[in-house]
Amino acid sequence: MVSSLTNCDSLSELKQLLVVVDHAVIGKSGGRKMIIDGKEHSISQVAKKFFTLCKKSDYTEKECKLAAEISEKIASVNSNNTYKKGLSKSQKANLMARRTLGNLPGIGLSSSKRSQGQLKAIGFSMMYLHYAKDSTKLRYTLLQQVLRKTGSPRENAKISQSIAEKAENITKASTLLNAKLTKKIQKDNDKWKKIELRLMLRTGF
User: In the predicted model, is pLDDT for residue 155 greater than 70?
Assistant: yes
CB distance 42 to 27 below 8 Å? yes
User: In the predicted model, is pLDDT for residue 19 greater than 70?
Assistant: yes
CB atoms within 10 A of CB 110: 15
CB distance 5 to 45 below 8 Å? yes
Q: What is the pLDDT of residue 80?
A: 63
Task: Read off the pLDDT band of 46 (50, 70, 90).
Answer: very high
Residue among 114, 111, 41, 36 at smallest CA distance from 79: 111
Amino acid in the structure at residue 168 = E
User: Mean pLDDT throughout 60-76?
Assistant: 93
pLDDT in tens, 74-120: 988 877 654 555 566 776 676 666 556 555 444 444 456 678 888 99
CB distance 176 to 116 below 8 Å? no
Dihedral over alpha carbons 99, 5, 84, 102 (to 10 degrees): 0
